[in-house]
Amino acid sequence: MVKKLLVLLLLPLSFSSFGSNEPILITESAIQISFDETKEILFSFAEGDEILIDLEMVKGKHLKEFQISGPSSNTLFSEYKLKSLTGKKVKAREKGVYSFKFYRPSLTNRAFKITISRIPANEQTMHFNTDWRWETQRDTVYIPYTIDSITGYNTIQYTENVKELIEIKREEDLLVDKNQRVHSYFNENESSTFLLINLPQPLITDLREERIISWAYWIGVGQESQEAYKKNTEFFTGLAEEVTSIYGTPLAGLAMGAISELIIPKTGEDVSYWFIPDEANLGLFRSGQAFSIFDKGKGIAAYGKNTTHTSGTFFLGLHNDNQVQGIDVDIKIVA
């Protein structure tokens, strides 16, 4: 058995002569402690010493707890929510190593200055050495042994449910099908606007699990855009029956990779668009500042798909750079 003991270092030291009631400085330190951390410093004292403590917070309001313990682990002084100490005196009733513990649970760091001094009880302890060291001693009396025995056993029967994949089904969810007015630059209304887009929350139960694989969008201006999308629908309907039976619309086919291109108009007014990831960046967009996006474009009509941004909420920002002509923007989003 190994025991770890605190041992005093009794070393000859040379000090200048002090009066019996004059404090002798032991330490003057700056200490920092982090979240939920306890720090401890140790010094040895002679019997009859008066321990003198000054403490001042440098960072943070207070320490959660400060405690001084003697060689017999008895608490000599403790204080909660300690902000400062000035000239605090504690009597050392026996010779030994004394512990000074500091604890704080808050999320911010704490820093403080501490000064510890001693006032000797008499001339004989004037030059007492306050250092200490760890010393390991082995207990030769203790004899380790182990007993192995069976105390009993039991058999527990249980039923295990094994899941088997029955069906994979792809479903089309029309999130947005809207015609949005975007005013001209010189109109009394703003020439930029936005839409809130909520992706559906997938259903997850013991027997069913859903996830969004991808989503696709169509953004076009005016009658030209609507005519182009109508042609896309006719072309998609003319594809093989097994394709159109799985994917009901051109955007669904685009989202799942059944088709890669759509017909877009050649002439007409255009619109600038940005997919904005969160409300903070939407505020920057509306105030004309730089903002973050995950997709953008400009044209009479545009389309695309996304396989990474598949949960939560985002925004679609629109802008009309025509100075006098307002535009109607056709927006379709399919998950």
> What integer pLDDT is reported at residue 13 of this predicted model?
47
Buried b (16+ CB within 10 A) or exposed e, 207-222: eeeeebebbbbbbbbb
Residues 6 or more apart in contact with residue 228 via CB below 8 angstroms: 220, 262, 263, 264, 265, 301
Q: Is pLDDT larger for residue 191 or for residue 7?
A: 191
pLDDT band, residue 333 (cuts 50/70/90): very high
pTM metric for this prediction: 0.52
84-91 sheet: strands from edge to edge: 24-33, 110-119, 50-59, 84-91
pLDDT band, residue 202 (cuts 50/70/90): confident
Helix (H, G, I), strand (E, B) or coil at 244: helix
- Answer whether residue 315 shows pLDDT above 90: yes
pLDDT band, residue 60 (cuts 50/70/90): confident
pLDDT (mean) for 51-66? 89
d(CA 200, CA 197): 10
Phi, psi of 234 (to 5 degrees): -65, -45
- Answer whether residue 106 shows pLDDT above 80: no
Specify the fold of 2-138.
Jelly Rolls (2.60.120)
> What integer pLDDT is reported at residue 35 of this predicted model?
77
d(CA 50, CA 88): 10
Could you tell me the residue ranges of all domains in the chain?
2-138, 174-334
pLDDT band, residue 297 (cuts 50/70/90): very high
Helix (H, G, I), strand (E, B) or coil at 313: strand
pLDDT band, residue 15 (cuts 50/70/90): very low
Helix (H, G, I), strand (E, B) or coil at 253: helix
Phi, psi of 185 (to 5 degrees): -65, -40
Q: Please give the C-alpha separations between residue 155 and each of 150, 158, 162, 309, in angstroms, as whole numbers.
A: 15, 10, 22, 50
* Residue 330, H or E segment: strand 327-334
> What integer pLDDT is reported at residue 16 of this predicted model?
42
Q: Please give the C-alpha separations between residue 34 and each of 108, 112, 141, in angstroms, as whole numbers.
A: 7, 12, 42
Quote the percentage of the chain above a pLDDT of 90: 43
Query: If you write DSSP's letter for every residue of 4-39 in order, what string do you get?
Result: EEEEE-----------TTS-EEEEEEEEEE-TTEEE
Tell which residue, 179, 174, 334, has the closest CA to residue 259. 334
Superfamily of 174-334 according to CATH: GOLD domain (2.60.120.680)
End-to-end CA distance of the chain: 68
Domains 2-138 and 174-334 share a fold: yes
pLDDT digits (tens, 9 = 90+) for 68-93: 999 888 888 988 888 899 999 999 99
Out of 22-31, 49-58, 149-158, 171-180, least confident range: 149-158
- Answer whether residue 11 shows pLDDT above 60: no
Tokens 């002798």 sit on residue:
24
Instruction: Please give the structure tokens belonging to residue 144.
Output: 């380790």
